[in-house]
Amino acid sequence: MANIQVRGVPDDVHRRLKAQAALSGQSLNEFLLARMTEMASKPTIPELIARIREREAYTGPSVADIVREDRDTR
């Protein structure tokens, strides 16, 4: 398992992160690891765009056609 060291964290940021960790009943390490894991599990914008482009185009009836058909059956 890798270790990460972050240098130059402003004091106010450190205090706020420590307070958030305490509120969630975690150590600062546990809190930050959970946040990093959450961040790493989310797809990036380029990954989302690639997924969208991989989808097949919709070839069914248009919304206007569906509404028109519904109105015609009334």
Q: Tell me: the pLDDT tens digits for 10-37?
A: 999 999 999 999 999 999 999 999 999 9
Distance separating alpha carbons of residues 51 and 27, to the nearest angstrom:
36
**End-to-end CA distance of the chain, in Å?**
65
In 1-74, where does DSSP find H-type helix? 11-23, 28-41, 45-54, 63-72
Predicted local distance difference test score (pLDDT) of residue 43: 96
Task: Please indicate, yes or no, whether the overall pTM of this predicted structure exceeds 0.95.
Answer: no
The encoded tokens of residue 8 equal 């130059």
Q: How far apart are CA 29 and CA 55, in angstroms?
A: 39
Q: Is 5 helix (H, G, I), strand (E, B) or coil?
A: coil
